[in-house]
Chain A
């Protein structure tokens, strides 16, 4: 029997779900092997009878937690989809700033009307069985993740650094081109798409298991980046993870 699959989103741009739609076009056979029962971005029908939940987006307000827990209760397998669900995403940049300042900056004098708190990945709220990283996710990796789920195992996502893939595609190193890159500390799996297009890695797939942050900062410094620029570079996608490494987790 085909597994029943549902898609959900929290704070995100929904771009990962667009990528899922794109994947369905590229791999139409996906619909022969899974049954999608809920996918707000793509269909009207909606059922809460599902085994696998793909969740995009980070948790940015207390009231989201209940909904996220509800999904966890229903689903046998919960997969975090994309950088927001996996890492807190760019939503977590604000975690390093006083929350009140952020609210005022965004909502002005209506700041008290809106509920918010520091952004966090799904794993800070519930047990997540696997992640499909990236901003957005990679089409082929989504298809591969489904393949692995159908095989009865959790998606195997690379945990080695991007440099490995970047070299396999024989890109000239961004550092040798005089640019900067987070490839040495970022998980591979995107086929080094940014360096292949001439752009240094921003770290959207998250940190490798044992990142050498001291050494990457030295490398960035050496290429002329100021401390402020380095912090900014490391906070685009990596705020939550780097704060966690410093022992800070938001309340």
Chain B
């Protein structure tokens, strides 16, 4: 199997993607769509949870998108959950099964999963943040025995905005995963919790020591969640966050994703709170 990166090829280009075919789609919400993509035969995505790919539509452009599928289940294919929010994602949403796109990657550092072994894990997802976390959650649950207690806290704007409904139902059914969801605004028929994601934190009664937390969500969520976690005594080095930035290259060259000295596309997108706590541009 060949990986997608072309850096060792002198006469190729690290910026040239590999074609991929859309083999399955599901419209999760009005603006979020799930894509199952297949690589040409012989290619593998070979990613780690938390890594991203640069997704191309030739003639439109390229954008960084986190992989939402489990590495163990990739086998020449992978999945993306995409919010329609710019020129590339607009165009991507208009594509259907059978369409060809192109991808480069995977890039960056994902979640350091070997450091999670034996520990209690809290996954905290806000909105689209569930997409990269799903890759990690699936990986953890596939090898459930390696970890302590596992909890998922997931907040969406409304009950209509939940992503991965089938996965959510399956996780909620398991008795070895604590699953808590909340919405900012309820709709009719919703009898679950209403409120921001931090209101779910008291429901998880893990000891602060040896608990690792993986957080992905919108920038505004990070500050509030971090305050609570730090107050609860979670170690700074045990809190892992994924950072969304503009990334034109994915390979530490174009400069767009820099947060102070950190190239988010290379050293990130997943970084520990200990690494970013003094970086104004990371948590502003």
Contacts and interface: CB of A to CB of B under 8 A. Distances in A.
Nearest to A154: B87
B268 to A, nearest CB: 26
Interface residues of A, number: 4
Interface string A144-181: 00000001110010000000000000000000000000
Contacts of B87: 153, 156
B94 interface: yes
B66 to A, nearest CB: 23
B231 interface: no
A34 to B, nearest CB: 17
A19 B94 CA distance: 33
A151 B61 CA distance: 12
B102 to A, nearest CB: 16
Contacts of A156: 87
Interface in B57-73: 59-60
B204 interface: no
A10 B263 CA distance: 50
A159 B36 CA distance: 35
Interface in B78-111: 87, 90-91, 94
Nearest to B61: A156
A152 B94 CA distance: 9
B195 to A, nearest CB: 36
A152 B87 CA distance: 9
Given A151-B59, A152-B90, 9 more contacts: A151-B60, A151-B91, A152-B91, A152-B94, A153-B60, A153-B87, A153-B90, A153-B91, A156-B87
Interface of B: 59-60, 87, 90-91, 94
11 contacts: A151-B59, A151-B60, A151-B91, A152-B90, A152-B91, A152-B94, A153-B60, A153-B87, A153-B90, A153-B91, A156-B87
